[in-house]
Amino acid sequence: MTTVDLLIRHARIAACVHDACSVTALGHIAVAGGKIAAIGTGDAPAGLRAASEIDVAGALLTPGLIDCHTHLVYAGDRAREFELRLQGASYEEIARAGGGIVSTVRLTREADEAALLTASATRLRALMRHGVTTVEIKSGYGLALEHELKCLRVARTLGRDLPIDVRTTLLSAHALPPEYAGRPDAYIDDVVVAQIIPEAARLKLADAVDAFCETIGFTPAQTRRVFESARAHGLPVKLHAEQLSNQHGAALAAEFGALSADHLEHLDEAGAIAMAHAGTVAVLLPGAYYFLRDTHLPPIDLLRKHRVPMAIATDCNPGTSPTTHLPLMLNMACTLFRLTPAEALLGVTRHAAQALGLAATHGTIEVGKVADLCVWNVEQPAALAYEIGSGALRARFKNGVQHPLQ
């Protein structure tokens, strides 16, 4: 007799191990010690005893969803900028006029840790209600040592307080703070490289380092110095690359073995080849593309041609993608970017795990991996991308424990 903690019966299992995301005939999954202990077709063996059993009666079972790119910790909103864009102002024009990221920086600096935690927990619970079991949270709205560390501490606290895995990313090279106007090199060298990265690493507040390599962000040379500092402190890197123009940031990220390069609307073939050779994941952010009314599509065919893994994320942030609905991003990835439903599902499971350096433990339904699972009131994976803003999630399991969808 074998005893396990949980047995899920009669599930249509999309393990997300194979590219087709094919669904097995009705099967079962056993969970022990927070990990997947057994997977099988048909009913469970007679010798398997479980402390808890759930019959899902033919519902779809997938890995827990992974949102691998968010800016979830911030104060305030940017609804006024939304109006300005509708009146014709561009993202760059708003940023250069003192809006954009810098306006959120001001509000985030003014907020104390408790206020940030309360606001951010509300957003994170919304993600969880849509099936997210692992999330990446970036800093980048503090842009000074005290405030960047404050945001990272809030992110770490969220991971301790709520049933979700939180990976933190230090994004101090997000924008130029007003006190360093006209002095980007001084900010990168004297603040980001000399202060924030070393202290975040010492305190173990960051799991990775990111930067915004763009005409309104930081140059490739400045980004290189950020990456060199991250490497010196044992932190992997990722990059906001090629969103508004081709700065060849993806190739730079690949040179440093980046976990991911994100956005990529202006990626060229050389960048895609470099990413493929480095194993760098392409993180596509259809929410930002939609919200900014962009018309320059990321080169999906190039990414397919060179077999670059494609992840999908919300890019949850106050200025360009104010959403906490990851399944909606599946629909947008298919309708706007022409991904297949299978590619979209892999983008929030297997490939999203890879983008966070978690491929060995998360993102697929395999024996030995963490038992992060979602049960959906649908029969096929395509339905998750087909239904716009649906509430198809029936149950969410974190480490084999079911938590209320609150």
Q: Is the pTM of this model over 0.85?
A: yes
Give tens-digit pLDDT for 203-215. Answer: 999 999 999 999 9
Output the CA–CA distances (angstroms, integers) from residue 27 to 57, 113, 313, in the order listed: 10, 46, 29
Q: Which amino acid is at 2?
A: T
Could you give the CA distance from residue 399 to residue 217 in angstroms, rounded to a whole number?
Answer: 39
At which residue do the structure tokens 């309104």 appear? 216
The shares of helix, strand and coil residues in the chain, as percent rounded to the nearest 5, are 35, 25, 40
- E-assigned strands of 329-388? 373-376
CB atoms under 10 Å from CB of 364, counted, come to 19
CB atoms under 10 Å from CB of 33, counted, come to 10
Collect all residues with Cβ–Cβ distance below 8 Å to 365 and sequence separation of at least 6: 13, 14, 15, 16, 17, 29, 36, 39, 61, 62, 63, 373
The superfamily CATH assigns to domain 2-63+365-403 is Urease, subunit C, domain 1 (2.30.40.10)
Confidence (pLDDT) at 390 = 77
Q: Show me where the domains of the chain are located.
A: 2-63+365-403, 65-355
Q: Which amino acid is at 320?
A: T
CB 71 within 8 A of CB 124: no
Confidence (pLDDT) at 85 = 81
CB atoms under 10 Å from CB of 156, counted, come to 18
10-residue averages of pLDDT along the chain (406 residues): 92 96 92 97 86 95 98 93 85 76 92 98 98 98 98 98 98 96 97 98 98 96 98 98 98 98 98 98 98 95 98 96 97 98 98 98 98 96 91 95 89
Could you give the CA distance from residue 173 to residue 220 in angstroms, rounded to a whole number?
Answer: 12
Cα-Cα-Cα-Cα torsion 351, 356, 358, 362, nearest 10 degrees, comes to -60
Of 143, 205, 153, give the one whose Cα is nearest residue 175: 143
130-151 burial, b at 16+ Cβ within 10 Å, e below that, comes to bbbbbbbbbbbbbbbbebbbbb
Of 42, 29, 133, give the one whose Cα is nearest residue 366: 29
Confidence (pLDDT) at 91 = 72
Confidence (pLDDT) at 218 = 98
Could you give the CA distance from residue 218 to residue 366 in angstroms, rounded to a whole number?
Answer: 41
Best CATH choice for the domain 65-355 from the list 3.30.470.20, 3.20.20.140, 3.90.550.10, 3.30.930.10 = 3.20.20.140
Confidence (pLDDT) at 99 = 77
